[in-house]
Amino acid sequence: MTAGEREKEPADAAAFSRAPLAEAMRAYREAGALAFHTPGHKQGLGAHRLLRERITQEGLAEEVSLMQELDDLHGPEGCIKEAQERAARLFGADAAFFMVNGTTGAIHAMLLAALSPGDAVLLPRNAHRSVWGGLVLAGARPIYIEPVVDAELGIAHGLSTASVRAAVAAHPEAKALLLISPTYYGVASDIRAIAEIVHGAGLLLLVDEAHGAHLAFSEELPPAALAAGADMAAQSTHKLLGAMTQASLLLLREGRVTRRRVQAAMSLLTTTSPNYLLLASLDIARCQMEEEGRALLARALRLARHLRREIDAIEGLACFGTERMGGAGAYALDELKLTVTVAGLGLKGPEAASLLRHRHKIEAELADERNVLFLITYADTEETAGRLLEALRAMAREAGSVRAPGFLTPVEAAALPPVPPLALTPREAFYRRSAAVPFREAVGRIAAEGISFYPPGIPVICPGELFTAEVCAYIRAMQEAGLKAAGAEDAALAAVRVAEEEAKEAGEAGGIHLAGKRKIDHPRSR
């Protein structure tokens, strides 16, 4: 049963009892058993005052694990099983798995459950770094699809249905498509249409839904991934809902992937001593959304829409909204993400974020070359929204120059070069020895590290790919434009880390397919 279909239970003093894992932890504490087990602080008895101040004595007394009454995350039969089942019902899944290693852990488990060594997987070029780690663990081979880039905003959106259709047709060997929806900036792809395409070709649809845990609680937001046809979705319950940082969910729609397979993958990657405070926070966050999630999200949306209108009225600032949706790669917008373009004030995003933090005591979520991103959540009020708005108005007044209101000309940057040939899979690249070489000697060598620039935040090169002349020229152009490289050991890129010669030769056996492109041969094999 989905969030929209579930009958709302009254919020009252018994609410805590509807969080079975949290309730079991409280009951264990109240039973008063004397601890001769881990953790070493003995339920807070030996905790330093700084730890007690931050967690409270009550919380430390429930910081226990592996007691019979508290169940086992790796083979749940009691309170954890019930808590996960409640989460599955609320989020419209057949099974929900509690994750204590963030959505990174959920993505790793999702890829490990869905893929086998050597399998090909379609994925957007701007995938989160955790996806690369999952490919290493699964031994899978990536086939990249270029996301749609908004040149005015200088950010990457999602995948177009046309690019997905072309990639699926060009790569019948692919076993799955991993989709990012919504993006960090709140832009969602057309998951329903994409699900029809990939399922029609026999592929799995896996969704990195780190920024979409709240979508199930409002019809005014983009549809949640599982409701739109995804087979699995990894959600950051801590990002826009009320779980503690590091607590996430992996949601499964059974049929193409079994519950047993996902449980096995999760258990392989998860500690045998999970922090029960994190687990309980997932249970309580679910409880909160079950009781009043729809009302909380409705209030947050009202605040976000008011802020967007007011920010757009500030000279030199712009905050894009639903008017930019409906095109390729930008199907719908999560309006709780406020992307404020500050370039009209003559500021770069990091400059604006620094001013807001140190002069106005406002901390942004993210800053890129020309934008600052703010998250509006169920926790915000008219007071917090008002403080943000006044800080933005003050920053605009203080700015040295105003170029123009609204959106500006496209970002002045060289066009991204073609995706370079893949000589080694991520797993092979990870296990090869590497060395630092001068950047001028990089052409023809295999990258042992990734390099990205913001904007647009898309990797120029990933580990296992060949440095081409086009890639190297783009990197230098970005540096000359004043953009900083991310991901490289040497941020100045005087040197880059490459795989040693034996790794280079391993790629000579044959070319690697890229989405929408012909087979590319290793340069030395010609």
Alpha helices in 253-348 (DSSP H): 259-269, 276-312
Contact (Cβ atoms closer than 8 angstroms) between residue 83 and residue 19: yes
Note the pLDDT tens digit of each residue in 110-128.
Answer: 999 999 999 999 999 999 9
The single-letter code of the amino acid at 89 is R
Four-point Cα dihedral 469, 472, 477, 483, nearest 10: 160
pLDDT value of residue 2 = 44
What distance in Å separates the CA atoms of residue 274 and residue 358, rounded to the nearest whole number? 37
Q: What pLDDT does residue 252 have?
A: 98
Residue whose C-alpha is closest to residue 69's, from 118, 21, 113, 35: 21
CA atoms within 13 A on the CB side of 374: 28
Q: Which of 147, 87, 154 is nearest to 327 (CA)?
A: 147
Q: What letters, b where the CB count within 10 A reaches 16 and e where it falls short, cover 330-339?
A: bbbbbbbbbb
For 372-387, the pLDDT digits (tens) are 999 999 999 999 999 9
pLDDT at 24: 94
DSSP state, 398? H
Residues constituting the chain: 526
Using alpha carbons, list the distances in angstroms from residue 354 to 102, 334, 383, 397: 27, 25, 22, 16
| Element holding 451 (H helix, E strand) | strand 451-453
**Euclidean distance between CA atoms 138 and 133, whole angstroms:** 9
pLDDT at 520: 35
Structure tokens at 424: 């080694």
Domains of the chain: 294-398 (3.90.1150.10), 426-525 (3.90.100.10)
Structure tokens at 268: 């392989």
Burial label for 93, CB within 10 Å (0-12, 13-18, 19+), is buried
The predicted structure's pLDDT at residue 502:
61
The Cα–Cα gap between 368 and 412 comes to: 14
Instruction: Give the integer Cα–Cα distance in Å for 101 and 73.
Output: 13
CA distance 224 to 212: 7
* Strand, coil or helix: 465: strand
Which residues in the chain come in under a pLDDT of 70? 1-17, 400-414, 502-526
- pLDDT for res 402: 55
Asked whether 197 and 161 are in contact (CB, 8 A), the reply is yes
Distance in angstroms (rounded) separating the CA atoms of residues 378 and 355: 26
- Beta-ladder partners of 96: 251
Q: What pLDDT does residue 484 have?
A: 82
